[in-house]
């Protein structure tokens, strides 16, 4: 597959080859690695923005509103959805889906759901590969929607440039949950459905949490109130994203994050390849399963088993 041709097609709104390439990536086809290796040099222009929040927080509506905003500026928008309950994934309420129809028909917007394909474990790897495809393909804005729960999603969040955490008023204990993981990963906070009466209290609660956690250096995370379904607050949100971008560039953190993204991706790939080759190379699948049986039967133990195996690998 030719990168120049892929770009040209995408600019013209022809997504057939892109769709094919993504399918190769998802099925971990060997030709996918080749393609991705080849087009990697063409990546780096796209803005990778994460949108994280519980189902029901209105992430997809917010993503739609952002996509419409960026489309008005003439930018090409790619949407990758890693939430099986999202309207983008078909797990939809009809009204939501109708509101999104214009996006599905827009040739400047490409939407792909990663969550309903039934592959686990490799979803972080695959999502990052699809980000590369869209980036190399010339999408200016790449929106990655995640719930933020679980191993793969945390890994995905760690590889975006700007992460937006979406909350809704009246969360109660949910706000507490933020402390335990979500707070650290938000570059911008959105209180969506801000037409609800307790929106300001939620803003105050987030501010309180922010005063407890300090992980973002000089960047003070803005809190933006939105009503995504009627486009309220979207200009403020895109301004906040822009200002985070400026911060990232000026502070050199964009470079740090991008290098960290390289590290995470390489380590993930290495670990995947390692288990594949270990079982099949150093030890046959049968013998590996027998080893697990031994440990399970307590005639061996996990520590010695792992150590013995790793000792047989020549580094």
Residues numbered 135 to 164 that lie near a copy of itself (CB under 8 A) are 147-151, 154-155
The answer to whether residue 179 forms part of the interface with a copy of itself (CB under 8 A) is yes
The answer to whether residue 120 forms part of the interface with a copy of itself (CB under 8 A) is no
List the one residue from 3, 177, 232, 254 that touches a copy of itself (CB under 8 A): 177
The answer to whether 213 and 230 have CB atoms below 8 angstroms apart is no
Comparing CA positions, the residue from 161, 203, 158, 205 lying closest to residue 179 is 205
Instruction: Please give the residues from 255 up to 294 whose contact with a copy of itself meets the rule CB under 8 A.
Output: 255, 258-259, 262-263, 265-267, 269-271, 273-275, 277-278, 280-282, 291-293
Structure token digits, residue 166? 């979406």
Instruction: Please give the residues from 23 up to 42 whose contact with a copy of itself meets the rule CB under 8 A.
Output: 33-34, 36-37, 40-41
CB of 149 to a copy of itself, least distance (A): 4
CB of 102 to a copy of itself, least distance (A): 25
The answer to whether residue 134 forms part of the interface with a copy of itself (CB under 8 A) is no
The answer to whether residue 173 forms part of the interface with a copy of itself (CB under 8 A) is yes
Structure token digits, residue 91? 């797990």
Query: In terms of C-beta density within 10 A (0-12 exposed, 13-18 middle, 19 or more buried), how is residue 9 classed?
Result: middle
> What radius of gyration do the chain's Cα atoms show?
21
CB of 67 to a copy of itself, least distance (A): 22
List the one residue from 208, 249, 250, 313 that touches a copy of itself (CB under 8 A): 313
| Nearer CB in complex with a copy of itself: 128/238 | 128
Neighbours of 66 (CB within 10 A): 24
Task: Name the phi and psi angles at 85, rounded to 5.
Answer: -95, 0
Rounded CA separation 21/16 (Å): 9
SS3 state at 209 = helix
Residue 42 DSSP symbol: G
Instruction: Please give the residues from 79 up to 108 whose contact with a copy of itself meets the rule CB under 8 A.
Output: 83-85
| Nearer CB in complex with a copy of itself: 239/256 | 256
The answer to whether 172 and 204 have CB atoms below 8 angstroms apart is no
Neighbours of 43 (CB within 10 A): 16
Residues near 24 by Cβ (< 8 Å), separated by ≥ 6? 31, 32, 35
Task: Name the phi and psi angles at 311, rounded to 5.
Answer: -65, -25
The answer to whether 139 and 76 have CB atoms below 8 angstroms apart is yes
H helix intervals, 108-227? 123-136, 151-157, 173-177, 199-212
How many residues form the binding site for a copy of itself (CB under 8 A)? Answer: 71
| Nearer CB in complex with a copy of itself: 107/296 | 296
The answer to whether residue 296 forms part of the interface with a copy of itself (CB under 8 A) is yes
List the one residue from 93, 98, 249, 306 that touches a copy of itself (CB under 8 A): 306
Comparing CA positions, the residue from 206, 196, 203, 160 lying closest to residue 52 is 160
CB of 14 to a copy of itself, least distance (A): 25
The gap from C-alpha 179 to its chain's centroid, in whole angstroms, comes to 20
- Could you tell me which stretch among 4-12, 52-60, 67-75, 232-240 binds a copy of itself (CB under 8 A)? 52-60
List the one residue from 13, 19, 44, 95 that touches a copy of itself (CB under 8 A): 44
| Nearer CB in complex with a copy of itself: 5/277 | 277
| Nearer CB in complex with a copy of itself: 36/203 | 36
The answer to whether residue 301 forms part of the interface with a copy of itself (CB under 8 A) is yes
| Nearer CB in complex with a copy of itself: 235/267 | 267
The answer to whether residue 172 forms part of the interface with a copy of itself (CB under 8 A) is yes
Structure token digits, residue 136? 């190399």
């Amino acid at each position: 597959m030719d990168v120049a041709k892929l770009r040209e097609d995408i600019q013209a709104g022809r997504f057939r080859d892109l769709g094919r390439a993504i399918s190769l990536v998802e099925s971990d086809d060997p030709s996918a690695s080749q393609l991705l290796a080849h087009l990697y040099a063409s990546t780096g222009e796209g803005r990778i923005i994460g949108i994280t929040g519980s189902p029901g927080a209105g992430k997809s509506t917010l993503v739609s509103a952002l996509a419409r905003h960026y489309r008005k500026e003439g930018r090409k928008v790619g949407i990758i959805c890693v939430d099986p309950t999202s309207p983008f994934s078909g797990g939809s309420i009809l009204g939501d889906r109708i509101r999104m129809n214009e996006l599905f028909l827009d040739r400047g917007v490409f939407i792909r759901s990663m969550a309903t394909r039934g592959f686990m474990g490799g979803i972080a790897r695959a999502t990052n590969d699809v980000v590369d495809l869209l980036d190399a393909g010339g999408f200016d804005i790449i929106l990655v929607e995640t719930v933020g729960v679980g191993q793969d999603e945390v890994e995905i969040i760690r590889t975006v440039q700007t992460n937006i955490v979406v909350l809704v008023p009246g969360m109660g204990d949910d706000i507490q949950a933020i402390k335990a993981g979500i707070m650290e990963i938000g570059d911008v906070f959105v209180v969506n459905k801000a037409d609800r009466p307790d929106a300001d209290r939620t803003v105050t609660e987030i501010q309180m949490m922010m005063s407890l956690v300090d992980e973002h250096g000089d960047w003070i995370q803005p809190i933006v109130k939105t009503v995504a379904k009627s486009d309220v607050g979207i200009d403020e949100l895109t301004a906040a994203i822009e200002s985070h971008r400026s911060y990232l560039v000026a502070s050199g953190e964009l470079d740090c994050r991008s290098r960290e993204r390289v590290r995470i991706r390489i380590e993930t790939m290495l670990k995947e390849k390692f288990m594949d080759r270990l079982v099949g190379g150093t030890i046959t699948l049968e013998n590996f399963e027998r080893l697990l049986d031994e440990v399970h039967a307590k005639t061996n133990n996990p520590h010695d088993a792992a150590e013995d195996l790793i000792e047989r690998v020549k580094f």
